[in-house]
Amino acid sequence: MSTVADAPGAPRQAEAPRGSGGIRQSVVDSLVIARRNLIRMMRIPEMVIFGLIQPVMFVVLFSYVFGGSINIPGAGLDPDAYRNFLMAGIFAQTVTFATAGAGAGIAEDMHKGLIDRFRSLPMTRGAVLTGRTLADAVQTALTLVVLAIVALLVGWRIEEGILKALGAFGLLLLLGYAFTWIGALIGLTVRTPEAATSGGLIWLFPLTFISIAFVPSENMPGWLQPVAEWNPFSATVLAARELFGNLPPGYQAPDAWPMQNPVLASVLWSLVIIVLFRTLAVRKYRKAAG
């Protein structure tokens, strides 16, 4: 039995071309993938429409069903105060729920073999995931614009000026972008898009509800209050409320460090999540595509 692998003139297995590497190459490749995903979203508008329905329903239902029934420290049972208190939580919930869509999209690309096609192209490995998460961030920004318009129609108001409001929306988008990397890791781990959708939502419900998004932490059992106050979700919600000017008169933030420094805590939590889960997701992608 002879070996021909090293014989002169023997055919060699073709290797997938690789990108030249470097930051510039990675940025260009990521933008190409992001453009591909945005074009796909525009060609399937029902993806965007259905993504808007749920948060709009939350705005309307929470505003008129729970408004006036939840005690807000410093404002009592005032429905207008609760409406302002609520909106930052709805915005934050909306951007984090994009996690499920990101995971399902990546799982679908894996399932259909599209990732294998990308492997044959000369691009950096992390660009596929970065491009996908950037496209999801654009869709999330569009959703926030529509949601803000609906919130204004039901009585929500910005009290601290447009610049601080833009800062609040920036923090919300940063949190949403961070969470899409969690979705990317889930999408690479499971076998089907359906599993990615379920896996992307099941842990989000306790994360968003065990927070200060919908009720103050003072209304929770004593053992649950520190969990809510150190929740990354809570930090972004409180930071957005401060920047929107939606805190009730005389509101006293809990003593936990993230509640005393919500803007800084929001940025730090988001950056930690991005670094951690991007590293894990890219590593998982390389193993899956290796």
The pLDDT value recorded for residue 73 is 64
Tokens 């998982």 belong to residue? 284
Each as own residue / partner, the long-range contacts of residues 27-30 (CB below 8 Å, 24 or more positions apart, any chain) are: 29/123, 29/124, 29/127, 29/131, 30/126, 30/127, 30/130, 30/131, 30/134
Averages of pLDDT over each 10 residues, the chain, 290 residues: 42 44 78 84 75 80 71 65 85 88 80 70 78 89 90 88 94 95 89 80 88 85 92 95 87 89 96 95 77
The pLDDT value recorded for residue 265 is 96
Q: Where are the domains of the chain?
A: 22-289
The pLDDT value recorded for residue 9 is 45
Instruction: From 121, 142, 160, 110, select the one nearest 19 (Cα to Cα).
Output: 121
d(Cα 59, Cα 44) in Å, to the nearest integer?
Answer: 25
Phi/psi for 72 (5° steps) reads: -105, 120
Helix axes 79-112, 45-61, angle to 10 degrees: 150
Phi/psi for 226 (5° steps) reads: -60, -35
